[in-house]
Structure 1
């Protein structure tokens, strides 16, 4: 299965969106095709999945830096940023624990989840048997956080979401970006 179709399946794109995709499409063409067809949510999902996890989290953090976040949301963003600077298991675990403790109910918890779900184990720290996250979970957290950020100004939701997406489109043009999905899982 092609990278594009695998990502579309993992992110549960609608049949209408999938009908626009071809297995041989380049990542940026596939996402732009969905955006041009008015399938913005599915375009966002595909974009988030095709980016390498660190790129997706970095893009999300870049968008969050420009937002008037409350203290909890800033804390979640700070944990994601810490993981970007040093993608150690300690930083990933701290982001995961924050998002889990917050019940994935706020922008901050979703910002942290993007990093927290990037690898490692989702099991309690004391558990010996690891429970690795599904490879597409970082993308799911990125989509949730992006939508929540766009919703900070409800009457500009669609415009803001498109602006966030446009920031990441150039990342799809980086040589080998979409092929990194194979390496990640």
Structure 2
């Protein structure tokens, strides 16, 4: 199964969007095909899944830097940024705990969740048996965070979301062939 096909299934792309994709499509071409067809939400989902996890979280942090964030959102962004700079288990766990404590109700929680769901275990820290997150959870958190950031200026939702997607297309190009999806 191709990377594009697997990502489209994991992210639950619509049937109409999935029909526009072929297994031999390169990741950037697949996302661009959906954007060109006006399937922006499905393009965002596919893009978020095709980016390596660290790239996806770095993208979110880059987008968040330009936003007027409240304290909780800044805290979540800071934890995500710390994980991007030092992707170790302590930083991942701190981001995960922040997102979990916030009930995934704020932009900051979703920014932190993207890092927190990048690996490790979703089980409580004291639990010995690990519960690894499904591979696509960072992408799911990324989609939520991008949509929430775009909605910070409701009347500019579509242009803002498109601008965020454009930033990530460069990262996708740079990451083609990279592992850790």
TM-score under structure 2 normalisation? Answer: 0.98
The 1-side partners of 2:150 and 2:69 are apart by 12
Partner in structure 2 of residue 124 of structure 1: 124
Q: Which runs of 4+ in 1 moved over 4 A?
A: none
Tell me the C-alpha RMSD between the 2 structures: 0.9
Contact map agreement 1:3 1:178 (CA 8 A) in 2: no
Q: Report the count of equivalent residues.
A: 181
Counterpart-to-counterpart distance in 2, 1:100 and 1:106: 11
Aligned mates of 2:176, 2:30 — CA distance in 1: 11
Which string of whole-angstrom CA distances, capped at 9 and with x for unpartnered residues, describes residues 121-173 of structure 1? 00000000000000000000000000000000000000100000000101121
Per-residue CA distance 1:36-77 (angstroms, 9 max, x = gap): 111000000000000000000001100000000000000000
3-state SS, counterpart of residue 153 of structure 1: helix
Consecutive unaligned residues in structure 2, runs of 5 or more: none
Supply the distance in 2 between the matched residues of 1:147 and 1:112 (Cα, whole angstroms).
15
Question: SS of the counterpart of 1:80?
Answer: helix
Q: Is the 8 A contact 1:32 1:43 kept in 2?
A: yes
Alignment partner of 1:163 is 2:163: yes
Alignment partner, residue 7 of structure 2:
7
Cα deviation, residue 178, structure 1: 4.3
Alignment of 1:103-122 (within 5 A): 103-122=103-122
